[in-house]
Structure 1
Amino acid sequence: MSTDSLNQGLDHIALRAYDIDATVRFYTDALGFRFLSEWAAPEAGVHRCVFLDAGDDRIIEIFDAASTPPGGSAHRLSPDAARPGDEERARHAALVHFAVRTGDPAELFRRAVEAGARPLMAPAEVEAKGSTPMTLQVAFVHGPDGEVIEFIKRPALRDA
Structure 2
Amino acid sequence: MANHITGVHHIAIQAKDYKATIRFYEALGLTLFHSWTLPEFNIEYAALLGIPGTNSYIEIFDKGANVATQGRRAAAEETPVAGALLHFCFTVKDATTAYHDALALGATSCVPPSVLILGEPPLTVRNSLVYGLDGEVIEFIEPHW
**Which consecutive residues of structure 2, in runs of 5 or more, have no partner in the other structure?**
none
Calculate the aligned-residue CA RMSD, in Å.
Answer: 2.2
Measure how far apart 1:42 and its partner are: 1.5
Where do residues 39-78 of structure 1 align in structure 2 (5 Å cutoff)? 39-55=36-52, 56-71=54-69
Could you list the runs of 5+ residues in structure 1 that have no partner in the other structure? none
**2: CA distance between counterparts of 1:22 and 1:46?**
17
Q: Answer yes or no: is 1:142 the counterpart of 2:131.
A: yes
Taking structure 2 as the reference length, what is the TM-score of the superposition?
A: 0.88
Paired letter, 2:29: G
Helix, strand or coil: the match of 2:101?
helix
* Contact 1:68-1:74 within 8 A present in 2 as well: no
1:45 touches 1:67 (CA, 8 Å); kept in 2?
yes
Higher helix fraction: Structure 1 or Structure 2?
A: 1
Q: Secondary structure at the match of 1:107?
A: helix
Aligned mate of 1:85, from 79, 97, 102: 79
**What is the distance in 1 between the residues matched to 2:26 and 2:133?**
13
Which residue matches 1:123?
Answer: 113
TM-score normalised over the length of structure 1: 0.80
CA spacing shift, 1:109–1:152, aligned 2, 3 Å:
same
Number of aligned pairs? 143
In structure 2, what is the Cα distance between the partners aligned to 1:49 and 1:103?
29
